[in-house]
Structure 1
Amino acid sequence: MGNYAAELERTASPLARDTGLLNGCLTQAEYVLDDCVRALRTGEVHLDVTNLPRVDLMADKFVTHQLQPGDYLEASHVFVEVASVEVQRVLLDTACPADLREVATRTLVRGAARRTRFLAGFYDAASLDTIDEIRLLERRSLARDVHDGIGNGLTLALRLVDGALGRGGEPAELASRLRRARQVLLDTLSQAQEVICQLRRQDPALGIFEALRMFRDHAGCGTTAVDLRLSGDDWRVPDTSRKEIYLILCEALRNALAHAEAERVTVTVTVADTEVVAEVADDGCGFDLTPPGAGGYGLRSMSDRAALLGGTCRVFSEVGVGTRVRLGVPLRGE
C-alpha cells in the first residue's frame, strides 16, 4: 500500500490531496488484494461483491470535491501497475505455478475494473442528487420572487386603488394615489418580466447561441450594453451539456445585470474541437471575493454545474474594476 500511495502522490493524483479519498483508495486496493489471495487458494478468479457498496462513500466525496470518475480510473491504473509488479514478484519468489499467477493477474485487473464501474454508477446517482438540489433551490427562489415581489406589489397597488375609490376627496389627492398605484404596477410588471425570463432560461429549445440572444433580449438590460461574441458550432455540444452551459452563462449574465452596475457586459463563447470556453465580463463595481461565502448561492450553483460536466467555473473580481466569470467544459459525445 505504501508504494501505491507514494505513486499517487508522485503522479499528482487529486485523490492524494485529500486524506479521506486517499484512505478510500487504499481500502479499495486492499479489497482487491484480498480477492487475489482467495483466487490463489481456489485457483479461480474470485470477486467479493459484499464490500462493493462501500464505494458509494467515495462517490459522495468525489461530488463534494468536484472530481470525476476519470480521476479514480487513473488511480486504478496506477494501482494495477504497482500491484502487478509486487504480486508477480512475490509469486515468482515462492515458485507459484504460471497458471495461478495468471489467475492472480486476472483477478487484480477485473477487481479494479469492477470497483471503477461501481463508483461511476454511484457518482452518477450522487450527481443527479446534486442537480436535483440545485433545481429545487432555483424553484424556491422563483417562488419567493413571485410571492415577495409580484404578490406584495399587486397587493399594495390594489390597496392604493381601493383607497382612492373609497375615500373620495380632492381630485389632486385621487390623482396622487392613482399615480402611486401606477408606479407600483410598473415595478411589479418589471419583476414579473424578470421571473418570466428566469423561467424561459430553464429549458433552451434552441442552440446555446440563439438561446443566449433570446435571453439577452428578454432580460431587461436597462442602460447596460450586452455584447455577445459567439464562435464555433454550438450544436456540436451534447444536449445535456448544452443546457447546463446555457444555465451557467445565464446566471452569470443575470448577476452582472442585477448587481454590477456596469455600463457594458461582454459574453464570449467559443466552441472548439475539444471544449467550450466562455467568459462573462463586466466593467461594473466588482466585489470582494475574500469573505467566506462571497457571491452566495448563484456562484456556487455555477461551479457545481460546471463540475458535473467535468469542467470548471471560476470567478475573478476586483472592487471598482469589474467581474469576470470564466467557464471551461470538455466536449464529450453523448
Structure 2
Amino acid sequence: HPDDRKIFHQALEASLSGITSLDIEHRIVKKNGQTIFVNQRGAVSYDEKGNTVKFSGSIQDITDRKLMENDLRESQSKLSGIINSAMDAVITVDDKQNVILFNSTAEKMFHYPADEVLGKPLDRLIPERFRNIHRKHIESFSKTGISMRTMGVINPISGLRADGEEFPIEASISQVEISGQKLFTVIIRDVTEKKKAEEALISSEARYRLLFKKNPLPMWVYDFETLKFVAVNFAAVKVYGYTKDEFLSMTIYDIRPEEDVPALKNYISNLKKPFQSAGIWRHKKKDGTIIDVEIVSHEIEFDGRVSRLVLANDVTDKKKALDELKSSREQLRELAAHLQNIREEERSAIAREIHDELGQVLTSLKMNLTFVDKKLTADEARIDPDDIHSEITGMKSVIDKSVKRIRKIITELRPEVLDQLGLISALEWQVNEFKTKSGIDCELLNYFGEAEVNKNISIAVYRIFQEALTNVMRHSKATKVEIKIGRTNNHFELEIRDNGIGFEQKKNKSKTFGVLGMRERAIILGGDFKVENVKPSGTKVSVYIPLEII
C-alpha cells in the first residue's frame, strides 16, 4: 500500500543488514484492487563465511484480526466517552479491590486525578470506620452470584474526598467475570444537595404539621372525592366537640345544618380554583349549636389523593355584632324619622292649641275691649259703670283661663316642677298625673331619698319615666303599676313594673321607637336600659345610670 511503503522498506533494510529480523504488519493491494492487512516475517541466511545466502520469510493475511481490533478500539473509545461523560462517578475494582477504572466524574467528585487512584485500594475513597464493612460487603456480594444491586438501602453510605470531607452518596454495584477474573463496578451519585433538600423538606413538613396541629383556629383536610375528613387539628376537636375518631368517620356534610347541605353540594360541584375563600357558612357543633364560620380552603395532595385543606374561623360573635350594628343603624335612622314626625306633630298640636285657645281668648278680649271703648266714647249720661265693670270682670276671667291653659301647655312640654323642685318631685307629680288620666293604680316607692341630681340625668330619667308610663297607658292593658327608685354603687336605678299583657317588640313599631328612644337616652349617659316580660304577666322596665350628685 502506498502509505505503508516507507516503513516497509525501512524494516526490510534493517533486516537485510542483519540488524534485526523482519516482523511487520502492513497493508498490500491485491491485483483486483482490494486492500488487505498482512503480517510479514523474514530473515537473512548466511554461509559459513558469513556471506548472505538468501532471504526467506512468510506473509499471513490478518485482515479479519485488524478489523476486529479496530472495532474493539472504536467500542472502547465509545465506552470510555460514555463513562467519562456520565453524570455519576463510575469506578471499577478487581477482585483485590484495587481501582482499575476511575472516570472524570469520579475525579471531580472525590477530588483525585485518575493517575493517583488507579492501581490503588478502593479504601482511600471510603471513610475509615466503614472500610471493613464495605470490604466484607463486596466479598459477600461476590459470592451471591447476583449481577447488580443497590448499596445503602438499609444504612446510609458516605464517600471520602481527597481533602478528608465526607459526603453522602447513593451507589449501585455490579459484577462481571472476564478471563477468570471478577471485576466490580460501582456507580456513585453525590446526594449532598438531595439530602439537604430532603432535610429541608422534612423540616418544612414538620413545621407545617406543627402549624396545622397547633393552629388556634379549626383546620381539617377532606378527600375531594369522598368528602370524608382525613385529618383534623386540636382546635377543630375543641370547637366542634367531636373526637378525632368521630371526625374521621364523618363527611363535611355532617357538620352542616340539614337545610344548608344542598347549597354546599352546589358549591362543591362548581369549586375549581386551587385557593378559595368560600365566605361565611353555618356549621353545626356536636351539641347542636349553630355557629357562623368564615371558610378558606386550598387544594393539596394528601396521601396521594386530591384533597382540600380548610381553615374555619368562628365569626359568630363578629357576625352577631355586625348584624346588631346594622340593625341599630337602621333603628336609629327610623328613630330619627320618627322623632322628626313627632316633632312636627308636637308643633302642629301647639299650633292648634294656640289657634283654638289663645286665638279665641284674644278674639273675645278684643270684642270686650271694643264694647268698653264704645261705652267710654258715648255720652256720659249713657255710661253705665256696672256694664263696664261686668265686661272687665269677664275679661279677667278669660285671661285667668288663658294663663292656666298656657301653663298646662308649658307643663306638658317641660314641667316646671322638674326645674323648681327637682327630679324626685317631678316623678311624684308625673305619677299623680298618670293616675288621674289613666285611672290605673300606680305606686311610687322612693328608696333614693331627696338628693338633687345632675340636670342632664334628671331630664333623661324624667323623659324615660314619662315615655314608659305612656306606653303602659296605651299598650299594656294593666290595672296596676309599681315604680321603684333607688341608688346602687353610685348609680341611679329606676324600675317600672306593670301587670299587663307584656311586651312584644315586633307587634307595635311605634312602641319600639319609644323603647329605642329610652335606651338611647340611657346609653348617652353611660347607663343601661332593659325591657323584659315578667311572670305571671306584665312588663318590667329597668334603667341604670351613673350618678353625678351635686
> TM-score range with shorter-chain normalisation?
0.3 to 0.5
More RCO (CA 8 Å, sep 6+): 1
More helix by percentage = 1
What TM-score comes out, normalization by structure 1 length?
A: 0.45
What TM-score comes out, normalization by structure 2 length?
A: 0.30
More strand by percentage = 2
Question: Higher Cα Rg: structure 1 or 2?
Answer: 2
